[in-house]
Amino acid sequence: MTPLKPIVRRPKAAEDVESHAIYIAEGSIDAALRFLERAEQTIKGLALFPSSGAPFPSSVPKLAGMRTKLVKDFPNHVVFYVEHDESIEVVRVLRGGQDMSVEVEKT
């Protein structure tokens, strides 16, 4: 069996998850806790199935190989990541209403 690649999170990705949870908590603490759990499950699942996300088309060279995966049970939230030879790098976790191309290209 192939060993799982470690997950590396950019600081901005961790900030994204936290800020989404805070916003969701304004309406429901339970929903915010579910979001945190599902976001973590989705991100950890990338180690098992790194190719499961959809390619993210971009003309920006530094975003080559970027993929996206919806957060389980929160289809408006998207994990942006890149699979490297030695790791899987989580770049951002954005909400569907955000201009994803602009936000991801800021990284």
Over 80: is that where the pLDDT of 100 sits? no
In this model, does residue 19 exceed pLDDT 80? yes
CA distances from 72 to 45, 59, 105, 107 (A): 10, 28, 24, 24
Q: Please give the pLDDT value at position 105.
A: 60
Judged by phi (left if over 0) then psi (alpha if -120 to 50, else beta), residue 73 lies in left
Q: How confident is the model at residue 57 (pLDDT cuts 50, 70, 90)?
A: confident
Q: Which residues contact residue 31 at a Cβ distance below 8 angstroms, ignoring those fewer than 6 apart?
A: 24, 25
**Domain total for the chain?**
1
In the predicted model, what is the mean pLDDT of residues 6-28? 96
Domain assignment of residue 68, yes or no:
yes
Please indicate, yes or no, if residue 43 is contained in any of the structural domains: yes
Q: Is there a domain that residue 1 lies in?
A: no
- Helix (H) or strand (E) holding 43, with range, is helix 29-48
Whether residue 69 lies inside any domain: the answer is yes
SS3 16: helix
Band (pLDDT 50/70/90 cuts) for residue 60 is confident
Position with higher pLDDT, 99 vs 40: 40
Range of the domain at 101: 7-105
The CATH number for 47's domain is 3.30.2310.20
Angle between helices 29-48 and 11-25 (to 10 degrees): 150
The percent of residues above 70 in pLDDT, for the chain, comes to 88
Residue 103 has pLDDT above 90, yes or no: no
* Mean pLDDT of the region 57-85: 90
In a domain, 39, yes or no: yes
Type of residue at 98 = Q
Q: What is the mean pLDDT of the chain?
A: 89
